[in-house]
Amino acid sequence: MNNTHLLRTALVTGSTSGIGLELTRKLLTDQWQVIGLNRSAFPEHPDIQAALASGQLYAVQSDLTNYSSLHAALEHIRFKTKAIDVLFNNAGGSTPRLLYSAQGHELHFELQTVVPYIIYRELYPLLREGRLKTVVNTSTTAFRMLKSFNLQTLEQPASFKKLFGPYAASKLALSLWTQEAAAAAKADGIHLLSVDPGGNNTLRANKLSGIPFYIKPVMKLFFPPPTRGASLLYAAGLGNTTYESGSYLVNNKPARLRFTEQSAAVLHRVEHIYKHKFQSPS
């Protein structure tokens, strides 16, 4: 990793496709050092391969939902870099059916609620050493369709619904713990945000997803390319930092979260998983 001539370092998860890839491109263009933490390899695009060759982009591969693999990857990152200015917890996506992680958690909950918290906690010392000290968690507005929110069923749902089921609930839980964790992080100058990147056409050929069939034509015809979502994440992380830490942003403006009475319980649960399953596995 070559960061001798660069002043700022960002870590981006989910950076090999879609919004994360476009965010990575924008950061590279603006002369950021970028660490990509992903399950898959970067595509064979000339600009991305050139950045990898120069060391401006540094790739770390890991199955993020497998704690052993994630632990090794984060340890490697801590060894390789001294500071992180902005952490973009962007890895996500939706599955077409009910799936579980290696730890037995429903996959959306694992990847989109718990893993961002683990990465945040494990890289906290590097964020503290950074200049911007900012965490941007990619959220959604899909959870506005939820009529109820039950923390107990996040890990083991009784039923499955595409997009507006476990996916939406896990993203809500992400925004809730972001809001709840902000006060403690403020003491170290660390700023947390959860950000909706809006609707983007991130459909990929021959890839199964949890997007309902009736939404796919709308995405193809009317949704903007993923550069739009990338620009919103970028602006949140590097632009106006006057938003209160813990804010949930939609169209780059603070929006109200529902079910905030459960924020403390969500944070307590992800902290428990972090301490007892990730840090001290039985």
How far is 69 from 195, CA to CA, in rounded Å? Answer: 27
* Range with top average pLDDT, 30-39, 151-160, 195-204, 209-218: 30-39
Predicted confidence band of residue 240 (pLDDT cuts 50, 70, 90): low
* Average of per-residue pLDDT across 232-255: 90
Residue 125 lies in a domain: yes
How far is 234 from 117, CA to CA, in rounded Å? Answer: 20
How far is 61 from 117, CA to CA, in rounded Å? Answer: 18
| Chain segment 49-105, per-residue pLDDT in tens | 999 999 999 999 999 999 999 999 999 999 999 999 999 999 988 888 999 999 999
Residue 250 lies in a domain: yes
Domain housing 106: 9-279
| Chain segment 113-134, per-residue pLDDT in tens | 999 999 999 999 999 999 999 9
In this structure, are residues 49 and 27 in contact, taking their beta carbons and an 8 Å threshold? no
Model confidence pTM above 0.85 = yes
Task: With residue 35 as reference, give the H or E element that holds it.
Answer: strand 33-38
Residue 130 lies in a domain: yes
pLDDT at 4: 44
**Residues paired with residue 89 on neighbouring β-strands, in sequence order:** 137
Based on the structure, what is the number of domains in the chain? 1
Residue 3 lies in a domain: no
pLDDT at 5: 43
Residue 4 lies in a domain: no
Residue 211: CB atoms within 10 Å: 18
Percent of the chain clearing pLDDT 90 (strictly above): 80
Residue 1 lies in a domain: no
CATH number of the CATH domain containing 225: 3.40.50.720
Q: Is the pLDDT of residue 220 over 90?
A: no
